[in-house]
Amino acid sequence: MSAQVQIVLVAATWAVVVGVVGLAFGWLLRHRSLRLQFGLVAVTAVLAVLAGVLAVARKMFISDHDFEVITIVTATAGVVSLLVAMLLSMAIVTWSHGFREDVRRVGARVPSTDAPLPRRRGPRELQDLSTELASATLRLAESRARETRLEEARRELVSWVSHDLRTPLAGMRAMTEALEDGMAPDPERYHRQIRAEVDRMVRMVDDLFELSRIHAGVLPLAPERVPVGDLISEAIAGADPVARARGVRLEGSVEDGLEITADPGGLSRVLANLIMNGIRHTPADGLVEIRARALEGGVELSVTDGCGGIAEEDRARVFDVAWQGGAARTPDLTDVHTSRAGLGLAIVKGIVEAHRGNVSVENVVEPAPGSGCRFLVVLPT
Protein backbone atom coordinates (compact mmCIF):
# COMPACT_ATOMS: atom_id res chain seq x y z
CA MET A 1 0.00 0.00 0.00
CA SER A 2 1.42 3.37 -1.00
CA ALA A 3 2.12 6.15 1.51
CA GLN A 4 -0.53 8.41 -0.01
CA VAL A 5 -3.23 5.76 0.45
CA GLN A 6 -2.18 5.23 4.05
CA ILE A 7 -2.36 8.96 4.73
CA VAL A 8 -5.84 9.16 3.23
CA LEU A 9 -7.08 6.17 5.21
CA VAL A 10 -5.67 7.45 8.53
CA ALA A 11 -7.01 10.99 8.01
CA ALA A 12 -10.41 9.71 6.86
CA THR A 13 -10.69 7.32 9.81
CA TRP A 14 -10.06 10.02 12.40
CA ALA A 15 -12.27 12.52 10.54
CA VAL A 16 -15.13 10.00 10.52
CA VAL A 17 -14.70 9.27 14.22
CA VAL A 18 -14.68 12.96 15.13
CA GLY A 19 -17.59 13.62 12.73
CA VAL A 20 -19.74 10.90 14.34
CA VAL A 21 -19.05 12.32 17.78
CA GLY A 22 -19.88 15.79 16.47
CA LEU A 23 -23.18 14.52 15.00
CA ALA A 24 -24.05 12.95 18.34
CA PHE A 25 -23.46 16.24 20.16
CA GLY A 26 -25.35 18.04 17.41
CA TRP A 27 -28.34 15.79 18.01
CA LEU A 28 -28.19 16.59 21.72
CA LEU A 29 -27.95 20.33 21.00
CA ARG A 30 -30.54 20.40 18.21
CA HIS A 31 -32.97 22.47 20.28
CA ARG A 32 -30.34 24.89 21.63
CA SER A 33 -29.19 28.24 20.28
CA LEU A 34 -27.63 28.62 16.84
CA ARG A 35 -24.55 30.02 18.61
CA LEU A 36 -23.82 26.63 20.19
CA GLN A 37 -24.54 24.75 16.97
CA PHE A 38 -22.24 26.99 14.92
CA GLY A 39 -19.56 26.57 17.58
CA LEU A 40 -20.03 22.80 17.45
CA VAL A 41 -19.59 22.80 13.67
CA ALA A 42 -16.36 24.80 13.96
CA VAL A 43 -15.00 22.59 16.77
CA THR A 44 -15.89 19.40 14.90
CA ALA A 45 -14.14 20.62 11.74
CA VAL A 46 -11.03 21.73 13.62
CA LEU A 47 -10.83 18.53 15.71
CA ALA A 48 -11.25 16.41 12.57
CA VAL A 49 -8.31 18.21 10.93
CA LEU A 50 -6.25 18.15 14.12
CA ALA A 51 -6.85 14.45 14.74
CA GLY A 52 -5.95 13.57 11.16
CA VAL A 53 -2.79 15.71 11.18
CA LEU A 54 -1.58 14.33 14.51
CA ALA A 55 -2.26 10.72 13.52
CA VAL A 56 -0.44 11.13 10.21
CA ALA A 57 2.43 12.95 11.97
CA ARG A 58 2.83 10.03 14.38
CA LYS A 59 2.89 7.63 11.46
CA MET A 60 5.66 9.70 9.83
CA PHE A 61 7.88 9.40 12.93
CA ILE A 62 8.76 13.08 12.88
CA SER A 63 10.70 14.71 15.68
CA ASP A 64 9.08 15.93 18.86
CA HIS A 65 9.85 19.52 17.91
CA ASP A 66 8.18 19.20 14.52
CA PHE A 67 5.21 17.44 16.11
CA GLU A 68 4.86 20.29 18.63
CA VAL A 69 4.98 22.85 15.82
CA ILE A 70 2.25 21.06 13.87
CA THR A 71 0.10 20.83 17.00
CA ILE A 72 0.49 24.55 17.81
CA VAL A 73 -0.24 25.62 14.21
CA THR A 74 -3.31 23.40 13.97
CA ALA A 75 -4.62 24.42 17.40
CA THR A 76 -4.12 28.12 16.60
CA ALA A 77 -6.02 27.73 13.34
CA GLY A 78 -8.74 25.90 15.27
CA VAL A 79 -9.06 28.71 17.83
CA VAL A 80 -9.29 31.32 15.08
CA SER A 81 -11.88 29.24 13.21
CA LEU A 82 -13.88 28.88 16.41
CA LEU A 83 -13.82 32.64 17.02
CA VAL A 84 -14.95 33.33 13.44
CA ALA A 85 -17.74 30.77 13.78
CA MET A 86 -18.89 32.30 17.08
CA LEU A 87 -18.89 35.82 15.63
CA LEU A 88 -20.85 34.64 12.59
CA SER A 89 -23.27 32.76 14.81
CA MET A 90 -23.81 35.90 16.93
CA ALA A 91 -24.62 37.89 13.80
CA ILE A 92 -27.08 35.27 12.60
CA VAL A 93 -28.68 35.07 16.04
CA THR A 94 -29.05 38.85 16.06
CA TRP A 95 -30.65 38.78 12.61
CA SER A 96 -32.98 35.97 13.69
CA HIS A 97 -34.00 37.97 16.79
CA GLY A 98 -34.84 40.92 14.56
CA PHE A 99 -36.83 38.67 12.27
CA ARG A 100 -38.67 37.24 15.28
CA GLU A 101 -39.56 40.75 16.45
CA ASP A 102 -40.95 41.54 13.00
CA VAL A 103 -43.12 38.43 13.15
CA ARG A 104 -44.25 39.30 16.68
CA ARG A 105 -45.24 42.82 15.63
CA VAL A 106 -47.29 41.42 12.76
CA GLY A 107 -49.20 39.13 15.13
CA ALA A 108 -49.53 41.60 18.01
CA ARG A 109 -51.01 44.59 16.19
CA VAL A 110 -53.50 45.31 13.48
CA PRO A 111 -51.31 45.83 10.41
CA SER A 112 -51.84 48.81 8.17
CA THR A 113 -50.92 49.22 4.54
CA ASP A 114 -48.94 52.37 5.42
CA ALA A 115 -47.12 50.80 8.42
CA PRO A 116 -43.35 50.17 8.13
CA LEU A 117 -42.61 46.80 6.56
CA PRO A 118 -40.12 44.24 7.93
CA ARG A 119 -36.54 45.09 6.96
CA ARG A 120 -34.37 42.88 4.79
CA ARG A 121 -31.44 41.71 6.91
CA GLY A 122 -28.88 38.95 7.07
CA PRO A 123 -28.00 36.36 4.43
CA ARG A 124 -30.07 35.75 1.33
CA GLU A 125 -32.29 33.10 2.95
CA LEU A 126 -33.28 35.47 5.77
CA GLN A 127 -33.76 38.30 3.27
CA ASP A 128 -36.11 36.06 1.28
CA LEU A 129 -38.03 35.33 4.47
CA SER A 130 -38.23 39.06 5.21
CA THR A 131 -39.57 39.68 1.72
CA GLU A 132 -42.22 36.99 2.17
CA LEU A 133 -43.09 38.40 5.60
CA ALA A 134 -43.48 41.88 4.13
CA SER A 135 -45.77 40.49 1.44
CA ALA A 136 -47.77 38.58 4.04
CA THR A 137 -48.02 41.74 6.15
CA LEU A 138 -49.49 43.68 3.24
CA ARG A 139 -51.94 40.88 2.46
CA LEU A 140 -52.96 40.70 6.11
CA ALA A 141 -53.44 44.47 6.24
CA GLU A 142 -55.58 44.37 3.13
CA SER A 143 -57.54 41.45 4.57
CA ARG A 144 -58.11 43.29 7.85
CA ALA A 145 -59.20 46.41 5.98
CA ARG A 146 -61.54 44.36 3.80
CA GLU A 147 -62.93 42.63 6.88
CA THR A 148 -63.51 46.00 8.53
CA ARG A 149 -65.35 47.29 5.48
CA LEU A 150 -67.46 44.14 5.32
CA GLU A 151 -68.31 44.42 9.01
CA GLU A 152 -69.31 48.04 8.57
CA ALA A 153 -71.38 47.05 5.55
CA ARG A 154 -73.10 44.30 7.56
CA ARG A 155 -73.96 46.69 10.36
CA GLU A 156 -75.25 49.23 7.88
CA LEU A 157 -77.21 46.51 6.10
CA VAL A 158 -78.88 45.44 9.34
CA SER A 159 -79.80 49.06 10.02
CA TRP A 160 -81.22 49.62 6.54
CA VAL A 161 -83.08 46.34 6.36
CA SER A 162 -84.56 46.69 9.82
CA HIS A 163 -85.85 50.13 8.86
CA ASP A 164 -87.14 48.97 5.48
CA LEU A 165 -88.92 46.06 7.16
CA ARG A 166 -90.27 48.05 10.09
CA THR A 167 -91.98 50.63 7.90
CA PRO A 168 -94.08 48.24 5.75
CA LEU A 169 -94.79 46.00 8.74
CA ALA A 170 -96.15 48.96 10.70
CA GLY A 171 -98.27 49.97 7.71
CA MET A 172 -99.62 46.44 7.21
CA ARG A 173 -100.42 46.17 10.91
CA ALA A 174 -102.39 49.41 10.79
CA MET A 175 -104.26 48.29 7.66
CA THR A 176 -105.09 44.85 9.07
CA GLU A 177 -106.38 46.42 12.29
CA ALA A 178 -108.54 48.77 10.24
CA LEU A 179 -109.87 45.80 8.25
CA GLU A 180 -110.55 43.82 11.42
CA ASP A 181 -112.40 46.74 12.99
CA GLY A 182 -114.36 47.39 9.81
CA MET A 183 -112.92 50.92 9.65
CA ALA A 184 -111.28 50.58 6.21
CA PRO A 185 -113.00 52.92 3.73
CA ASP A 186 -111.72 50.88 0.76
CA PRO A 187 -110.93 47.26 1.75
CA GLU A 188 -109.86 46.30 -1.78
CA ARG A 189 -107.27 49.05 -1.85
CA TYR A 190 -105.97 47.94 1.54
CA HIS A 191 -105.70 44.37 0.29
CA ARG A 192 -103.74 45.48 -2.77
CA GLN A 193 -101.45 47.60 -0.62
CA ILE A 194 -100.79 44.74 1.79
CA ARG A 195 -100.04 42.43 -1.13
CA ALA A 196 -97.62 45.00 -2.59
CA GLU A 197 -95.79 45.34 0.74
CA VAL A 198 -95.54 41.54 1.10
CA ASP A 199 -94.14 41.26 -2.41
CA ARG A 200 -91.56 43.93 -1.61
CA MET A 201 -90.44 42.12 1.53
CA VAL A 202 -90.26 38.81 -0.37
CA ARG A 203 -87.96 40.46 -2.92
CA MET A 204 -85.85 41.87 -0.09
CA VAL A 205 -85.47 38.40 1.45
CA ASP A 206 -84.59 36.95 -1.96
CA ASP A 207 -81.94 39.64 -2.41
CA LEU A 208 -80.49 38.92 1.02
CA PHE A 209 -80.34 35.20 0.25
CA GLU A 210 -78.65 35.89 -3.09
CA LEU A 211 -76.14 38.22 -1.45
CA SER A 212 -75.36 35.68 1.28
CA ARG A 213 -74.57 33.04 -1.37
CA ILE A 214 -72.32 35.52 -3.19
CA HIS A 215 -70.38 36.38 -0.01
CA ALA A 216 -70.12 32.68 0.89
CA GLY A 217 -68.70 31.90 -2.56
CA VAL A 218 -71.41 29.33 -3.32
CA LEU A 219 -73.28 31.21 -6.03
CA PRO A 220 -74.29 28.53 -8.57
CA LEU A 221 -73.24 29.29 -12.14
CA ALA A 222 -74.10 27.32 -15.27
CA PRO A 223 -72.08 28.97 -18.06
CA GLU A 224 -73.21 28.47 -21.63
CA ARG A 225 -72.79 30.24 -24.95
CA VAL A 226 -75.55 32.84 -25.23
CA PRO A 227 -76.19 35.72 -27.67
CA VAL A 228 -75.78 39.03 -25.89
CA GLY A 229 -78.53 40.58 -28.03
CA ASP A 230 -81.10 38.12 -26.68
CA LEU A 231 -80.15 38.88 -23.08
CA ILE A 232 -80.46 42.63 -23.60
CA SER A 233 -83.76 42.29 -25.50
CA GLU A 234 -85.26 40.21 -22.69
CA ALA A 235 -83.99 42.62 -20.03
CA ILE A 236 -85.48 45.62 -21.88
CA ALA A 237 -88.78 43.80 -22.39
CA GLY A 238 -88.98 42.97 -18.69
CA ALA A 239 -88.27 46.54 -17.58
CA ASP A 240 -90.37 48.27 -20.25
CA PRO A 241 -93.63 48.40 -18.21
CA VAL A 242 -91.83 50.08 -15.32
CA ALA A 243 -90.11 52.52 -17.68
CA ARG A 244 -93.42 53.42 -19.35
CA ALA A 245 -95.07 53.99 -15.98
CA ARG A 246 -92.29 56.42 -15.05
CA GLY A 247 -92.11 58.06 -18.47
CA VAL A 248 -88.56 56.85 -19.11
CA ARG A 249 -87.39 55.69 -22.54
CA LEU A 250 -85.35 52.52 -22.99
CA GLU A 251 -82.97 52.06 -25.91
CA GLY A 252 -80.49 49.29 -26.67
CA SER A 253 -77.86 48.47 -29.25
CA VAL A 254 -75.69 45.38 -29.67
CA GLU A 255 -72.97 44.55 -32.17
CA ASP A 256 -74.04 41.87 -34.63
CA GLY A 257 -73.18 38.29 -33.72
CA LEU A 258 -71.91 39.16 -30.25
CA GLU A 259 -71.89 36.12 -27.95
CA ILE A 260 -70.53 35.36 -24.52
CA THR A 261 -70.02 32.32 -22.32
CA ALA A 262 -71.81 33.11 -19.07
CA ASP A 263 -74.60 32.01 -16.79
CA PRO A 264 -77.77 33.32 -18.51
CA GLY A 265 -79.71 33.71 -15.27
CA GLY A 266 -76.91 35.57 -13.50
CA LEU A 267 -76.23 37.88 -16.44
CA SER A 268 -79.95 38.58 -16.82
CA ARG A 269 -80.01 39.53 -13.13
CA VAL A 270 -77.10 41.91 -13.68
CA LEU A 271 -78.80 43.64 -16.61
CA ALA A 272 -82.17 43.79 -14.86
CA ASN A 273 -80.69 45.34 -11.71
CA LEU A 274 -78.70 47.93 -13.66
CA ILE A 275 -81.65 48.85 -15.88
CA MET A 276 -84.08 49.11 -12.94
CA ASN A 277 -81.52 51.19 -11.06
CA GLY A 278 -81.24 53.51 -14.07
CA ILE A 279 -85.03 53.81 -14.42
CA ARG A 280 -85.45 54.57 -10.73
CA HIS A 281 -82.94 57.44 -10.82
CA THR A 282 -83.85 58.91 -14.22
CA PRO A 283 -86.46 61.66 -14.29
CA ALA A 284 -89.53 61.53 -16.54
CA ASP A 285 -88.80 61.99 -20.26
CA GLY A 286 -85.28 60.76 -19.57
CA LEU A 287 -83.38 57.99 -21.35
CA VAL A 288 -81.78 54.76 -20.16
CA GLU A 289 -79.50 53.32 -22.84
CA ILE A 290 -78.06 49.80 -22.90
CA ARG A 291 -75.14 48.99 -25.20
CA ALA A 292 -72.90 45.98 -25.78
CA ARG A 293 -69.68 45.83 -27.74
CA ALA A 294 -66.77 43.47 -28.19
CA LEU A 295 -63.42 44.15 -26.54
CA GLU A 296 -60.13 42.34 -26.93
CA GLY A 297 -60.72 39.12 -25.03
CA GLY A 298 -64.05 40.20 -23.62
CA VAL A 299 -67.41 41.93 -23.89
CA GLU A 300 -68.39 45.31 -22.48
CA LEU A 301 -71.96 45.98 -21.36
CA SER A 302 -72.93 49.55 -20.49
CA VAL A 303 -76.06 51.05 -18.98
CA THR A 304 -76.28 54.84 -19.16
CA ASP A 305 -78.98 56.74 -17.25
CA GLY A 306 -79.95 60.31 -16.48
CA CYS A 307 -79.42 60.29 -12.74
CA GLY A 308 -77.62 63.63 -12.75
CA GLY A 309 -74.23 62.16 -11.88
CA ILE A 310 -72.69 60.69 -8.75
CA ALA A 311 -70.56 62.74 -6.39
CA GLU A 312 -66.88 61.84 -6.33
CA GLU A 313 -66.95 60.89 -2.63
CA ASP A 314 -69.95 58.58 -3.21
CA ARG A 315 -68.68 56.83 -6.33
CA ALA A 316 -66.48 54.46 -4.35
CA ARG A 317 -69.51 53.33 -2.29
CA VAL A 318 -71.93 52.70 -5.14
CA PHE A 319 -71.48 48.91 -4.98
CA ASP A 320 -71.42 48.70 -1.18
CA VAL A 321 -74.13 46.72 0.56
CA ALA A 322 -77.12 48.84 1.68
CA TRP A 323 -75.88 52.03 -0.01
CA GLN A 324 -78.78 53.84 -1.68
CA GLY A 325 -77.18 57.08 -2.72
CA GLY A 326 -78.79 59.28 -0.13
CA ALA A 327 -79.43 59.81 3.52
CA ALA A 328 -83.18 59.28 3.30
CA ARG A 329 -84.22 55.84 4.46
CA THR A 330 -87.89 56.02 3.68
CA PRO A 331 -88.62 53.65 0.78
CA ASP A 332 -90.45 54.77 -2.32
CA LEU A 333 -93.86 53.20 -1.81
CA THR A 334 -94.75 53.69 -5.46
CA ASP A 335 -91.84 51.48 -6.55
CA VAL A 336 -93.21 47.95 -6.34
CA HIS A 337 -90.57 46.39 -8.56
CA THR A 338 -87.55 46.59 -6.29
CA SER A 339 -86.83 45.79 -2.64
CA ARG A 340 -85.15 49.20 -2.11
CA ALA A 341 -82.76 47.70 0.46
CA GLY A 342 -79.67 48.89 -1.38
CA LEU A 343 -78.70 45.37 -2.45
CA GLY A 344 -79.14 45.52 -6.23
CA LEU A 345 -75.74 46.94 -7.16
CA ALA A 346 -73.97 44.82 -4.53
CA ILE A 347 -75.52 41.74 -6.16
CA VAL A 348 -74.43 43.02 -9.57
CA LYS A 349 -70.83 43.29 -8.38
CA GLY A 350 -70.91 39.83 -6.82
CA ILE A 351 -72.30 38.14 -9.94
CA VAL A 352 -69.88 39.94 -12.25
CA GLU A 353 -66.88 39.04 -10.09
CA ALA A 354 -68.09 35.42 -9.96
CA HIS A 355 -67.78 35.51 -13.79
CA ARG A 356 -64.19 36.83 -13.36
CA GLY A 357 -65.25 40.21 -14.70
CA ASN A 358 -65.32 43.69 -13.24
CA VAL A 359 -67.90 46.44 -12.93
CA SER A 360 -67.37 50.19 -12.56
CA VAL A 361 -69.28 53.44 -12.80
CA GLU A 362 -68.42 56.81 -14.32
CA ASN A 363 -70.16 60.11 -14.82
CA VAL A 364 -71.09 61.03 -18.37
CA VAL A 365 -70.85 64.51 -19.85
CA GLU A 366 -73.38 64.04 -22.62
CA PRO A 367 -75.19 66.18 -23.44
CA ALA A 368 -74.29 68.31 -20.41
CA PRO A 369 -71.75 67.84 -17.59
CA GLY A 370 -73.12 65.73 -14.76
CA SER A 371 -76.21 64.70 -16.71
CA GLY A 372 -75.97 61.03 -15.78
CA CYS A 373 -73.76 58.07 -15.08
CA ARG A 374 -72.70 54.98 -16.97
CA PHE A 375 -72.25 51.53 -15.44
CA LEU A 376 -69.66 49.42 -17.27
CA VAL A 377 -69.55 45.64 -17.01
CA VAL A 378 -66.57 43.88 -18.64
CA LEU A 379 -66.74 40.10 -18.90
CA PRO A 380 -64.20 37.73 -20.44
CA THR A 381 -65.41 35.82 -23.48
User: Would you say residue 234 lies in a domain?
Assistant: yes
pLDDT in tens, 229-279: 999 999 999 999 999 999 999 999 999 889 999 999 889 999 999 999 899
CA 364 to mean position of chain CA atoms: 30
Instruction: Verify that 327 and 249 share a domain, yes or no.
Output: yes
Instruction: Verify that 278 and 248 share a domain, yes or no.
Output: yes
Instruction: Verify that 229 and 376 share a domain, yes or no.
Output: yes
pLDDT in tens, 77-115: 777 877 877 777 777 777 777 777 777 766 555 555 455
User: Would you say residue 18 lies in a domain?
Assistant: yes
CA 371 to mean position of chain CA atoms: 34
User: Would you say residue 90 lies in a domain?
Assistant: yes
Cα–Cα distance between 234 and 224 in angstroms, integer? Answer: 17
User: Would you say residue 280 lies in a domain?
Assistant: yes
* Torsion of the alpha carbons at 132, 135, 140 and 143, rounded to the nearest 10: -140
Instruction: Verify that 240 and 267 share a domain, yes or no.
Output: yes
User: Would you say residue 272 lies in a domain?
Assistant: yes
pTM to 2 decimal places: 0.56
Instruction: Verify that 45 and 64 share a domain, yes or no.
Output: yes
Instruction: Verify that 375 and 234 share a domain, yes or no.
Output: yes
Domain boundary (200, 218, 236) is at 218
Instruction: Verify that 164 and 269 share a domain, yes or no.
Output: no
Phi, psi of 302 (to 5 degrees): -130, 140
Domain boundary (75, 104, 133) is at 104
Instruction: Verify that 361 and 243 share a domain, yes or no.
Output: yes
Query: How long is the chain?
Result: 381
Domains: count for the chain? 3
Instruction: Verify that 268 and 312 share a domain, yes or no.
Output: yes
User: Would you say residue 142 lies in a domain?
Assistant: no
Domain boundary (218, 234, 252) is at 218
User: Would you say residue 201 lies in a domain?
Assistant: yes
Q: Please tell me which residue, 120 or 129, carries the higher pLDDT value.
A: 129
User: Would you say residue 110 lies in a domain?
Assistant: no
Instruction: Verify that 286 and 355 share a domain, yes or no.
Output: yes
Burial readout 75-110 (b: 16 or more C-beta within 10 A, e: otherwise): eeebeebbeebeeebeebeebbebbeebeeebeeee
Q: Look up the CATH number of the domain holding residue 258.
A: 3.30.565.10
Domain region containing 237? 224-332+340-380
Cα–Cα distance between 99 and 131 in angstroms, integer? Answer: 11
Instruction: Verify that 208 and 355 share a domain, yes or no.
Output: no
Q: What is the DSSP letter of 194?
A: H
Instruction: Verify that 295 and 319 share a domain, yes or no.
Output: yes
pLDDT in tens, 128-159: 777 777 777 778 877 887 788 777 767 776 77
pLDDT in tens, 273-331: 999 989 988 988 889 999 999 988 889 999 999 888 888 877 877 887 766 664 333 34
